[in-house]
Structures are given as C-alpha cells and as structure tokens.
C-alpha cells in the first residue's frame, strides 16, 4: 500500500511538471536560466581557452545555451578570475540605412559601429560589479571616483573613435557649411545668384540668372559644403583605449561572445560577414586580453572572401579563429546521446517541479532509471524519442511537448513507442518538409533522387559520387541546414568507399513517412558497405542516388542562391529574381545538367 501511495505521489509531481513545462520557452534566450537548465554535453570546457573560437551548429543544437553558460560562469567568477564577458546577438548590430544603396564594405562598417557602441555601453553598465565594493580608503581618497571617471572618459573616446552618430556615421555625409557676404555691384543687366559646392570630387558651380529692372548684379551668398565620404574607425586607437579601460578595471581578459552570426547576411552570398570579420580582426586582434567567441550555422557562414578574386579579407579558420565544437556532430554515440537527453529532460522538469529531486538522491544532475520508466512504457519508447530528435535538443523538446499534449499531460497511461513514432512523423510532415520550395533544386533532389533509393533499399543511408557532389553543393547545404538530411561521418566510411563517395542519412521523420506503406524495419548501416564482391550488383550501388533525374532547367540566383523557374512572373516581366528582386540576368545563371 505504501509503495502505491509513493508511485501516486511521483505521478502527481511528474504531471504537474509536464503542465508547467509546456509554458517553458524552447529558445534559451527567452528565459535566461542557463545554469538551472544546463545539461553538460562535455563542450563547455572547450570554450575556456583564450583563443578566438567558433561554435558551429544548426538551429536548436544549443549554441546560444553554450555561450550563455560560458557568460554566466565567467561573470559568476569575475571577482576571482578577473575575466569579463560581454554577450551579444548579431541581430543587435543590424541597422538599415535609408535613402541610398551602399556596398557590402560600408554596410559591414555600419554594423560594426553599432557593435562598438553596444560594447562600450555594456562595459560601462557593469563598472560597479567589476570594481566591487568600495573600501573606506578608496572612499576617503577619492580613488574610486577617479577610476569611474576615467572609465567613462575612455568609453566616450572609444565611441568617438568609432564615429558613432545618429544615424550611423558610416552612412552619413559629414557636412561643414560656411556663409560669406558679398557686396553688390551695379551696371549689369540682370540679377544672378552664384552658389558653389565643394565636395570630395572638387568644386562645382551653379548659376541662375534672371532679368531685373534695376540692372544690378548681386553676388548674394557663397555656401561652401565640405563632405567627408570616407569615414573609417581608427582601429588601433580603439584597441588601445579598450585595453587601457580593461587595465583600469583590473580585468585580465575580455570575452566577446557573438551569437547568431549568420544574421549579418543569412545568405552568406555577399561579403558582409567577411568584412565584419576583418573589422573584428583589425580592431581586437593581436592581444591576449581580448578573446572572441562566435556561434553560427556552418551552412550560412562565410568568415572570409576566399575565392573572391580580391585581396584576402576576414578571419582564417585554423589561423585567426578555431573551431571549438560542431554541435551537429557532438553526440554521435547512441549511449552518450541517450544520457544527454535524459539529463536535459530531467533538468527542465526539475526546474518546473522541485519534488522530482527524489529521482536524483545523490544530487549529480542525472536521474535514476525509474525517472524515465515513470513516463515511458519502456526504454525503447524513450529511445525512439531520442532517435527522432537526431541529436537536436530543441527538436527533442518539441517532440516531447507534443507527446505530452497528446497524452493530456498525464502519465497514468505510460507513453508507448508507437505514439512516439507517430509524433515524430507528424512533426516531420507538417513542419519540416514544407520548408522546401517546390521548384527548388533541393526539393527535386530529395524527391526524385533520394526518395526512390531510400524506399527501395529500406535504409536511411544514401551515397552520392564525389564527382556529382560539388554540382549540388547549394542543394545539399539547404537540406543539411533544414535538418532534412544529415552527414554520415567520413571516418566511419570504409577507405575504399570514402575515396569515391560521400554518405548521408535521411532524417528519421522523413524515413518514417516514406516507409509507413512498407511497414518494415530500418536496414542496419553496417550492412550497406559490403563491397567484397565488387561495386556492380552490390548494396552500395543500389544506395547511390541518380542525380540525372533532377531537372536543372531553372535559374539560380548567385546573390541569394534561390532557385526559381524561368516562367516566374518577376523574371518574365522585369528580369528580377522573385526572392531578392535583383536583376537576374546580372546576378544569376541558367543551368542545365
């Protein structure tokens, strides 16, 4: 009887946690409780190095959470380690110029100036926390007040050096105007007004004359306008002032954390990201006192202009900045992934209902196996949930929330594997697959080349010849970015196979959708690479997709990478790309296989 009452008590706590969890934000920046909800996937310690680093990962893999945890950890130990952290999202740097077209370099400069302004404001805002409580001696001697005044002065100088204005100085013409009086001269048959404008291109005169009964020539006023069109921040001076400011604060290192880097240019087709990276390097590079950490999506990122045919610009991977981790591939091992998802789920439900701490008597942050068996019918049901999320924490939580809603936030009937699969399938069909444009090359590749192979073999894995892979680089990047397919680790491919092929896995949700009519189990990947009898007639040959089935008689915009049919109305009427509305004949190419 006591055991039944105990189970009932657990059930009540779990159901209460499920009801509260449905209102807990999926995006970590919405709730800011990084430490309370953090599940350690052995990545955080990699970011403690002073190097400039980048975190790669698609949407929902935990990039923001990782940066947020680093920020909280550094600021929590500020008085001990004397390391300062400033966290930004690149969306904060976006400011739109009005009234004229600007090039990528000028736009990047405007974004960078916004960033410098925010950086100075953040540092000044936390001066009291950095300096700590003033001692009696500091109060009596006034040293604390002098330090604060010096910090504010340095911050103002940094802003001035970056030429921040309203609007942003990079998009403004700085004009100086003078007025001089001239005497009137009689004897002319008309009245003329003479105006002169002096610009960067040299003086220009404009005359206007009309008849006058008094026949007087009047040189009324001379307006001289001086226009400065090449405003550039003084990078070395900004670095010097910032380092002086850090020394005044007695800070050993400043961590600049930039999230959502790709929002600077989501297409990565222009040079804005590379130009912004160059400004970062020129301003903050060359000193151990400043470390930059960037979180971004690999498939929307361009740190440099390599291959652009111009002077090298930006950050070079492996030299200026290093890959700290790739969250898309951080948890390949099934056992490790299951452990991480268990900890993630427990931490979030524990945040909603403190009574669930009974499942972690040792306070290690990892619950005992009874926690999962209090929700799921067996471990296979939870394994299906983990498999459906494919290592993406946000997808895992999304499927879990949908499951909870389907069960009306109750665990009276434990959750079964079939319902988990149904939920994974529904989310894939309703939310993921429609993200592809119907006429896009990526959609054609998925439906005409990949789908026949997957349905015929019963395997999520498919391969493409490396000679064909480059021709469909943009299509594969879109499929990977939208988590419709996943890269199969090259290291796990047999040497003979990876020499000529690249391998991918269709997402579990899509595979369930395609396999439901056949009702068969997934073929083990290990059996797919048996080429002992040669390539012809082998399973590997059957897994190779035929890219010739893709109809490539469409236009690919080189500016935004959108694919559209030649009969698109904007292209037919004005020759414009229907996505970015740039002249398609100038920025696009018509391709055929």
The pLDDT tens digits along the chain (593 residues) read: 445 555 667 889 999 999 999 988 887 667 777 888 888 878 889 999 999 999 999 988 999 999 999 999 999 888 888 999 999 999 999 876 655 577 888 889 889 988 988 898 888 888 766 766 666 555 556 666 777 777 778 878 877 777 644 445 555 554 444 444 444 444 444 433 333 333 333 333 333 333 344 444 444 554 544 444 445 567 778 888 889 888 888 889 999 999 999 999 988 878 899 999 999 999 999 889 999 999 999 989 999 987 655 678 999 999 999 999 999 887 778 888 999 999 999 999 999 999 999 998 888 888 988 899 999 999 999 999 999 998 899 999 999 999 999 999 999 999 999 999 999 998 888 876 667 877 778 888 999 999 999 999 888 999 999 988 888 888 898 899 888 999 998 888 888 888 889 999 999 999 998 987 666 677 777 667 765 555 666 788 889 999 888 876 667 776 676 777 666 777 767 778 877 777 765 444 444 32
Predicted local confidence at residue 535, as pLDDT: 60
Longest dimension (CA), the chain: 120
Residues 6+ apart with CB under 8 A from 354: none
CA-wise closest residue to 334 among 400, 415, 391: 391
Tokens 């045919």 belong to: 309
Cβ(508)–Cβ(484) below 8 Å:
no
Predicted local confidence at residue 204, as pLDDT: 36
Predicted local confidence at residue 214, as pLDDT: 45
Domains recognised in the chain with CATH numbers:
2-17+331-432 (no CATH), 42-169+235-326 (3.40.50), 174-228 (no CATH), 436-543 (no CATH), 552-593 (no CATH)
| Burial (0-12, 13-18, 19+ Cβ within 10 Å), 417 | middle
Predicted local confidence at residue 418, as pLDDT: 92
Residue 522's DSSP bridge partners are none
| Burial (0-12, 13-18, 19+ Cβ within 10 Å), 520 | exposed
Predicted local confidence at residue 474, as pLDDT: 84
Return d(Cα 232, Cα 113) in angstroms, integer: 10
Predicted local confidence at residue 194, as pLDDT: 34
Fill in the DSSP letter of residue 249.
Answer: T
Return d(Cα 270, Cα 308) in angstroms, integer: 10
Predicted local confidence at residue 364, as pLDDT: 81
Predicted local confidence at residue 139, as pLDDT: 59
Predicted local confidence at residue 20, as pLDDT: 93
Predicted local confidence at residue 198, as pLDDT: 30
**Sequential DSSP letters for 354-414:** GGGGGG-TT-SS---THHHHTTBSSHHHHHHHHHHHTT-HHHHHHHHHHHHHHTTT--SS-
Overall size of the chain counted in residues = 593
The sheet carrying 563-564 orders its strands as 563-564, 554-557, 588-591
Residue 202's DSSP bridge partners are 199
Predicted local confidence at residue 145, as pLDDT: 73
Predicted local confidence at residue 136, as pLDDT: 55
Predicted local confidence at residue 140, as pLDDT: 56
Distances (CA, A) of 463 to 417, 529, 586: 29, 10, 35
Distances (CA, A) of 129 to 79, 175, 182: 9, 41, 60
């Amino acid at each position: 009887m006591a055991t039944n009452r105990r189970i009932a008590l657990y059930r009540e706590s779990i159901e209460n946690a499920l009801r509260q969890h449905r209102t807990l934000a999926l995006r970590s920046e919405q709730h800011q409780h990084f430490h309370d909800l953090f599940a350690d996937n052995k990545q955080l310690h990699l970011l403690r190095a002073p190097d400039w680093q980048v975190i790669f990962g698609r949407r929902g893999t935990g990039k923001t959470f990782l940066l947020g945890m680093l920020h909280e950890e550094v600021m929590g130990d500020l008085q001990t380690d004397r390391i300062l952290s400033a966290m930004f999202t690149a969306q904060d740097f976006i400011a739109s110029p009005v009234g004229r077209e600007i090039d990528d370099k000028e736009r990047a400069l405007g974004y960078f100036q916004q960033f410098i302004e925010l950086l100075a404001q953040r540092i000044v805002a936390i001066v009291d926390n950095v300096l700590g409580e003033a001692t009696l001696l500091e109060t009596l001697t006034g040293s604390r007040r002098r330090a604060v005044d010096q910090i504010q002065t340095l911050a103002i100088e940094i802003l001035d050096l970056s030429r921040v204005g309203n609007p942003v100085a990079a998009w403004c013409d700085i004009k100086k105007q003078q007025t001089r009086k001239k005497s009137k001269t009689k004897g002319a048959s008309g009245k003329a007004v003479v105006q002169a404008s002096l610009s960067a291109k040299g003086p220009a005169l404009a005359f206007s004359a009309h008849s006058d009964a008094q026949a007087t020539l009047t040189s009324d006023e001379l307006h001289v306008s001086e226009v400065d069109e090449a405003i550039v921040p003084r990078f070395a001076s900004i670095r010097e002032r910032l380092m002086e400011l850090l020394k005044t604060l007695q800070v050993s290192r400043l961590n600049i954390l930039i999230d959502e880097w790709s929002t600077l240019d989501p297409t990565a087709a222009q040079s804005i990201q590379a130009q912004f990276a160059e400004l970062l390097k020129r301003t903050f590079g060359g000193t151990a006192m400043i470390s930059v950490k960037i979180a971004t999506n690999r498939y929307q990122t361009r740190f440099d202009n390599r291959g652009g045919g111009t002077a090298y610009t930006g950050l070079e991977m492996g030299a200026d900045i290093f890959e700290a981790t790739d969250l898309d591939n951080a948890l390949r091992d099934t056992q490790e992934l299951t452990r991480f998802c268990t900890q993630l789920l427990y931490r979030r439900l524990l945040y909603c209902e403190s009574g669930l701490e009974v499942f972690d008597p040792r306070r290690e942050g990892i619950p005992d196996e009874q926690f999962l068996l209090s929700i799921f019918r067996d471990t296979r049901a939870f394994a299906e949930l983990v498999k459906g999320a494919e290592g993406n924490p946000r997808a895992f939580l999304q499927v879990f929330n949908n499951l909870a809603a389907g069960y009306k936030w109750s665990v009276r009937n434990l959750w079964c594997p079939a319902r988990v699969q149904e939920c994974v399938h529904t989310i894939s069909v309703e939310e993921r697959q429609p993200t592809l444009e119907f006429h896009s090359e990526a959609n054609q590749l998925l439906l005409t080349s990949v789908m026949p192979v997957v349905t015929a073999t019963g395997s999520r894995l498919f391969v493409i010849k490396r000679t064909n892979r480059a021709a469909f680089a943009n299509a594969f990047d879109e499929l990977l970015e939208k988590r419709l397919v996943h890269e199969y680790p090259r290291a796990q491919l047999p040497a003979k196979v990876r020499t000529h092929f690249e391998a991918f896995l269709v997402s579990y949700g899509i595979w369930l959708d395609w396999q439901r009519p056949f009702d068969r189990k997934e073929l083990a990947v290990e059996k797919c690479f048996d080429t002992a009898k040669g390539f012809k007639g082998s399973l590997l040959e059957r897994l190779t997709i035929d890219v010739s089935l893709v109809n490539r008689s469409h236009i690919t915009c080189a500016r935004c990478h959108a694919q559209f049919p030649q009969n698109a109305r904007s292209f037919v009427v004005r020759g414009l790309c229907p996505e970015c509305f740039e002249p398609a004949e100038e920025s696009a190419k018509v391709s055929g296989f």
